[in-house]
Amino acid sequence: MATRDDPPVPGRDDPAAAHALLDQQRETSRQLQAAVESRDLVGQAKGILMERHSITAEAAFALLQGQSSRRNSRLVDVAEQLIDPGPAERAETRPQRTRL
């Protein structure tokens, strides 16, 4: 139990404050997870560009940034499109099967 000289602790004396703090921590956790996932996607896209074009990581990132700027879209969206272009683009690049 808290005494008169104890500093206030969120949640101990105010359940509403504890709930608000928990919601804030959950949101922070969600944002951090999204940031890690975005970073991974951008890294994968950079790797693809580096392999395809024999360029440095910095050059690959510059290409992604340029495309993001031209499309007026988020960098992670450009990276996702490069990693998984979607069914229409995959069909265009898929090798044709030869019947025997």
- Dihedral angle over CA of 87, 83, 78, 33, nearest 10: 120
- Identify the structural domains of the chain with CATH numbers, from first to last: 15-93 (1.10.10.10)
- Block residue for tokens 């879209």: 73
d(Cα 52, Cα 56) in Å, to the nearest integer? Answer: 11
Phi/psi at 8 (5° precision):
-65, 140
pTM of the model: 0.61
pLDDT tens string for the chain (100 positions)? 556 667 766 566 788 888 888 889 999 999 888 888 889 999 999 999 999 999 999 999 999 999 999 999 999 999 999 999 877 565 555 555 444 4
Q: Copy the structure tokens of residue 28.
A: 């922070």
